Amino acid sequence: MTTTAANSNLFRDYIGAIFNGVKFTDVPINPKVRFDFILAFVIDYTTTTTPPSPTNGQFEIYWQNTVLTASAVASIKQSNPNVRVAVSLGGATVNDNPVFFNITSVDSWVANANLDGIDIDYEQFQVDPATFAECIGRLVTTLKSNGVIKFASIAPYDNADVQRHYQALWASYGSVIDYVNFQFYAYGASTTEEQYVGHFDDQIANYPGGNILASFTTAPTTTSVSINTSLNACQTLQSQGKLYGIFIWAADHSRSQGFKYDTQAQELLANAHSY
| Domain boundaries defined on the chain | 10-271
55 has a pLDDT exceeding 80: no
Say what the pLDDT of residue 100 is.
64
Q: By percentage, how much of the chain surpasses pLDDT 90?
A: 67
What is the amino acid identity at position 100? F
Instruction: Check residues 203 and 97 and name the one with the higher pLDDT.
Output: 203
User: What class does CATH assign to 10-271?
Assistant: alpha beta
Which residues are known catalytic residues? Answer: 123
Q: Which pTM does this prediction carry?
A: 0.90
Q: What angle do CA 2, 86, 148 make, to 5 degrees?
A: 80
Contact at 8 Å (CB) between 133 and 173? yes
Least confident interval from 8-12, 62-66, 149-153, 188-192: 62-66
Integer angstrom CA distances of residue 199 from 1, 224, 230, 263:
21, 14, 12, 24
The count of other CB atoms within 10 Å of the CB of residue 162 is 18
Contact at 8 Å (CB) between 64 and 24? no
Task: Kindly report, residue by residue over 102-124, the tens digit of the pLDDT.
Answer: 666 656 656 665 656 799 998 78
What is the amino acid identity at position 122? Y
Residue 91's SS3 state is: strand
Q: What distance in Å separates the CA atoms of residue 29 and residue 15, rounded to the nearest whole number?
A: 14
**Own/partner pairs, 60-67, CB within 8 angstroms, 24+ separation:** 62/17, 62/91, 62/94, 63/15, 63/16, 63/17, 63/39, 64/16, 64/19, 64/20, 64/21, 64/22, 65/16, 67/16, 67/21, 67/22, 67/23
Say what the pLDDT of residue 91 is.
63
